[in-house]
Amino acid sequence: MRKLSNILQLGLKELRSLYRDRTMLALIVYSFSLAIYSSATGVPESPYRATVAVIDEDRSQVSARILDAFQMPYFIQPRMLQSQEQMDQGMDRGDYTFTLNIPPKFQQDLLNGRQPTIQLNVDATQVSQAFTGAGHIQQIVSTEVDAFVKRYRGEEAVPVQAVIRSEFNPNLTRAWFGSINEVVNQITMLSIILTGAALIREREHGTIEHLLVMPITPFEIMVSKVWAMGLVVLLASGLSLHFVVEGWLGVPIAGSIPLFLLGTALHLFATTSMGIFFGTVAQSMPQLGMLFILVLIPLQILSGGQTPRESMPEPVQNIMLAAPTTHFIILAQGILFRGAGLAVVWPQLLAIASIGGVFFVGALSRLRKSLR
C-alpha cells in the first residue's frame, strides 16, 4: 500500500508540474487540435477553386465539352482569352494557375485519326494546386475527348466494365485518413516528449536528488511518470477524436472508441517507457530533441502510417515489427476505419503489451543505473 501511495503522490506531483508548464500545455492543446486539422486539410487531394484561362482557337463541339467540364468547386469558370500575349501576361501576374490553349482544327484532326495536342501551362509556384490540378485537367481532357469520339463514331461499349466501390471512404476524402493518422502520430510524439522532459526537468531543477533521499525506489519514480503522462495523452486523444475528428472535421468513426483507447493505453505504456529511456540518455532538453527526431521520423515513415507496409522491403517490414507503432497503426486503422472488434485486433493488443513490457524493463534498468 505504501508503494501504491508513493506512485499516486508522485504522479500527482507530475501533473501539478505539467499544469505549471504553460509551454507544454500549449503544445498538447495545439498537437491535438490545430495540428490535426491542418494536417488533415492542409494538402488538398484535388484542386479547389483553381483559376483557369483558355484560348479556344478551334471553337468546336469538343472544345466546348472540355470547357463545360471545368466545374465548381474544383475550378472557377474559365476565363476566355484572345491571344498568347494575354495568357503570358496573366501567368506572369499570377492571375491564373492554369492556362489551356486549344489549337485550330483540333476536332477535325481528332476525327481524322491524327493526334492533336493541347498546350497546358501550369504556374508551379502555386504548390498546393499545381500538381493535383494538372493531373485533374489531363483527366478531364482525356475523358471528354474519348466520350466525344466514341459518340461521333458510334463505337460499341466495352462488354466488360469494372465498377469500383470504395467501402470505407466512398468519396476518398483525404481528411478522413489524414486526421486519424495524425492523432496516432501525436499520441506517439507527445508521450515520448512528456515523459522524457519530465525526467530531464527533475534533473535540471535538482529535485531528482530530493527524490533519491526519500524512501522511494526508481520503480516508483518511473511508474508515476508513466501513468501521469500517459493519462494526459490518453485524455487528450479521446477529446481530440470526439471534438476535432468527429465534430470539427466531420469524420465518421466506424468502430469502438473505448476499444481504441484500450489499445492507446497499452501503446502509451510502451512509448512512455521509451521517453524515460531517452530521458536517461539525454543530459538536456536539446539532446532529448535530437534523439527524438532520430527515432520519431523512422517510426512514422516505416510503421505504415504514411505508406503501406506491403510496399516496403521485407527486411524493413520484419524489423519494424519490433516497434509498438507498427502494431498500433494496424490496430487504429482496423478499429477506426473498418470497425474491427476485439476478435480481430487482439493480436495487436498482445504485441503492444509484450513490446511495452520489454521497453519498460529496459528503461527501468537504465534509470536505476543513471540514479546511482
pLDDT at 30: 92
Instruction: Measure the CA–CA gap between 104 and 156, rounded to whole angstroms.
Output: 29
Sheet of strand 79-80: strand arrangement = 79-80, 52-56, 98-102, 119-122
Q: Is residue 164 part of a domain?
A: no
Distance from C-alpha of 250 to C-alpha of 369, rounded to nearest angstrom: 49
215 lies in the same domain as 120: no
**Contact between 102 and 118 (Cβ < 8 Å):** yes
Whether residue 236 contacts residue 183, with contact meaning beta carbons closer than 8 Å, is answered with: no
| Same domain? 64 vs 35 | no
Do residues 119 and 6 both lie within one domain?
A: no
Residues 6+ apart with CB under 8 A from 339: 254, 255, 256
Give the pLDDT score at 74. Answer: 80
In a domain, 47, yes or no: no
Answer whether residue 165 is part of any domain. no
pLDDT digit string (tens) for 88-127?
888 778 788 888 888 888 888 778 777 888 888 887 776 6
Residues 23 and 102 in one domain: no
**Domain identity same for 115 and 230:** no
Question: Do residues 278 and 305 share a domain?
Answer: yes
Mean pLDDT (10-residue bins), the chain, 372 residues: 83 87 89 86 70 83 83 82 81 81 82 81 74 79 79 59 70 76 89 87 74 79 89 93 88 88 93 89 83 84 81 87 91 88 92 92 86 70
Total domains, the chain: 2
The answer to whether residues 23 and 59 belong to one domain is no
Give 79's strand partners: 53
- Are 69 and 144 contacting, i.e. CB atoms less than 8 angstroms apart? yes
The residue behind cell 475528428 is 245
Is 158 inside a domain boundary?
Answer: no
**3-class DSSP state of 80:** strand
Do 19 and 85 belong together in one domain? no
Q: Note whether residue 160 is domain-resident.
A: no
Considering the domain architecture, whether residues 111 and 212 belong to the same structural domain is answered as: no
* Residue 269 confidence (pLDDT): 93
Give me the pLDDT at residue 44, please: 61
Tell me the pTM.
0.74
What backbone torsions phi and psi does residue 101 show, to the nearest 5 degrees?
-120, 105
Residue at a domain's end among 153, 182, 211: 153
Say yes or no: 182 and 135 in one domain. no
- Tell whether 38 and 58 lie within a shared domain: no
Specify the pLDDT at position 72.
Answer: 79
CATH at 112: 3.40.1710.10
Same domain, 139 and 183: no
- Tens of pLDDT, residue by residue over 230-243, are 999 999 999 999 99
Give me the domain span that covers residue 73.
52-153
**Domain boundary, last residue among 97, 125, 153:** 153
Q: Could you tell me if residue 116 is inside a domain?
A: yes
